[in-house]
Structure 1
Amino acid sequence: MGSFGKVLLSFRRLLPFLGIALFSVSIYVLVRELGRYTISDIASKVGEVPASRFVLAIFLTFLTYLNLTFYDLIASRRVGAKLKLSSTALASFIGYTFSKNIGFTVLSGTSVRFRLYGKAGVGGGKILAIIILNYLTFWLGFFALSGILFTLWPPVLQSAVRIPFGSLKAIGIASAGIYVLYMGVVSFRKRPFRIRGKSFSLPGRTFTLVQTSISILDWLLSAGVLFMLLPPEIVYLEVLGVFLLSQFAGLSSQVPGGLGVFEALTIVILSPTLQADTIVAALILFRIIFYLAPFLISLILFGINEFLFRSSRNSD
Structure 2
Amino acid sequence: MPGEPPSSIVPAIRTWWPRIRRLVTFAFFATVAVLLLMHLRTVDWHGVFSAMRSHSIATMLFACLLAVASHALYSCFDLLGRHLTGHHLKTRLVMAINFICYAFNLNLGALVGGVAFRYRLYSRFGLGVDAVTQVLATSMLTNWLGYLLLAGAAFAATPLPVPEDWPVGTAGLRAAGGFLSTLALSYLALCALSRRRVWTVRGHAIRLPSARLALLQLLMSSANWLMIAGILHFLLGAQTPFMLVLGVLLAAAFAGVVTHVPAGLGVLEAVFLALLAGRLPDTAILAALLAYRAIYYLAPLILAAIMYLAFESVSGDKMAARSAG
In structure 2, the residue matched to 1:190 is 195
Report deviation, 1:310: 6.6
Residue 124 (structure 2) aligns with: 119
Offset of residue 196 of structure 1: 8.0
Match of 1:208 in 2: 214
Shift of 1:142: 0.7
Amino acid at match of 1:221: M
Among 263, 272, 276, which residue is 1:266 paired with? Answer: 272
Structure 1 pair 199/307, CA: closer, same or farther in 2 (3 Å)?
closer
- Quickly say closer, same or farther: Cα 1:227–1:195, change in 2 above 3 A: closer
- Pair 294,219 (structure 1): closer, same or farther in 2 beyond 3 Å: same
Asked whether 1:176 is paired with 2:181, we answer yes
TM-score (norm 1): 0.78
**1:274 to 1:133, Cα distance in 2 relative to 1, 3 A:** same
Take 1:309 and 1:272, find their aligned partners in 2: how far apart are those partners? Answer: 56
| C-alpha separation in 2, matches of 1:171 and 1:285 | 31
Q: Is the 2:114–2:136 contact (alpha carbons within 8 Å) kept by the matching residues of 1?
A: no
- Structure label with greater radius of gyration: 2
How many angstroms apart in 2 are the aligned matches of 1:194 and 1:117? Answer: 21
2:304 aligned residue (291, 298, 301)? 298
1:244 partner amino acid: L
- What is the Cα deviation at residue 170 of structure 1? 1.8
Q: Following the alignment from structure 1 to structure 2, what is the Cα–Cα distance between the partners of residues 68 and 45?
A: 26
Q: 1:88 to 1:52 in 2, by over 3 A?
A: same
Distance 1:311 1:200, change over 3 A: closer
For 1:137, which of 130, 137, 142 is the aligned residue? 142
SS in 2 for 1:106: helix
Structure 2, unmatched stretches of 5+, are 1-45, 320-325
C-alpha spacing 1:311/1:70, structure 2 compared with 1 (3 Å): closer
Equivalent position to 2:98, from 73, 85, 92: 92
Displacement of 1:198 in angstroms is: 7.4
Which residue of 1 is the match for residue 169 of structure 2?
Answer: 166
Following superposition, the deviation at residue 300 of structure 1 comes to: 0.9
- Cα distance between partner residues in 1 of 2:153 and 2:60: 29
Indicate the SS of the match to 1:140: helix
Query: Are the structure 2 counterparts of residues 260 and 193 from structure 1 closer, same or farther at C-alpha, using a change threshold of 3 Å?
Result: same
With structure 2 as the length reference, what TM-score do the two structures score?
Answer: 0.76
Q: CA RMSD in A?
A: 2.5
Q: Given that residues 78 and 98 in structure 2 are in contact (C-alpha distance below 8 angstroms), is that contact kept between their aligned partners in structure 1? A: yes
Residues 1:72 and 2:78 aligned together: yes
Cα 1:233/1:116, change in 2 over 3 Å:
same
Deviation at 1:106, TM superposition (A): 2.5
Equivalent in 256, 259, 284 of residue 278 of structure 1: 284
CA distance in 1, matches of 2:277, 2:301: 29
| Pair 1:108 & 2:113 matched | yes
Worse-superposed segment, 112-121 or 80-89: 112-121
Greater relative contact order, per chain length (Cα 8 Å cut-off, separation 6+): 1
Deviations along 1:77-96, one digit per CA (max 9) or x if unpaired, are 11111111121111011001
| Paired residues for 1:17-56 under 5 Å | 47-56=53-62
Distance 1:309 1:177, change over 3 A: same
Answering whether residue 265 of structure 2 is matched by residue 246 of structure 1, we say no
Q: CA deviation at 1:48?
A: 3.3
Q: Post-superposition shift, 1:272?
A: 2.1
Aligned residues: 269
Change (3 A) 1:202 1:138: same
Q: Secondary structure at the match of 2:314?
A: helix
Residues 199/70 of structure 1: CA separation in 2 closer, same or farther (3 Å cut): closer
Per-residue CA deviation, residues 43-98 of structure 1 (Å, 9 max, x unaligned), is 87654322101111111110011001221111111111111112111101100111
Please give the alpha-carbon distance, in whole angstroms, between the structure 1 residues aligned to 2:51 and 2:266.
Answer: 20
How far the C-alpha of 1:204 sits from its partner, in A, is 2.4
Q: Which amino acid aligns with 2:194?
A: R
- C-alpha deviation, 1:195, in angstroms: 6.7
Alignment of 1:145-160 (within 5 A): 145-151=150-156, 153-154=157-158, 157-158=159-160
Contact 1:45 1:277 in 2 (8 A): no
Give CA-to-partner distance per residue, 1:273-316, whole Å, 9 cap, x none: 11111101111111111101110111011112211337958xxx
Q: Over residues 191-220 of structure 1, what are the superposed CA-to-partner deviations in whole Å (9 max), with x where a residue is unaligned?
A: 244678876542222111111111101101
SS in 1 for 2:311: helix
Secondary structure of the residue aligned to 2:286 is: helix
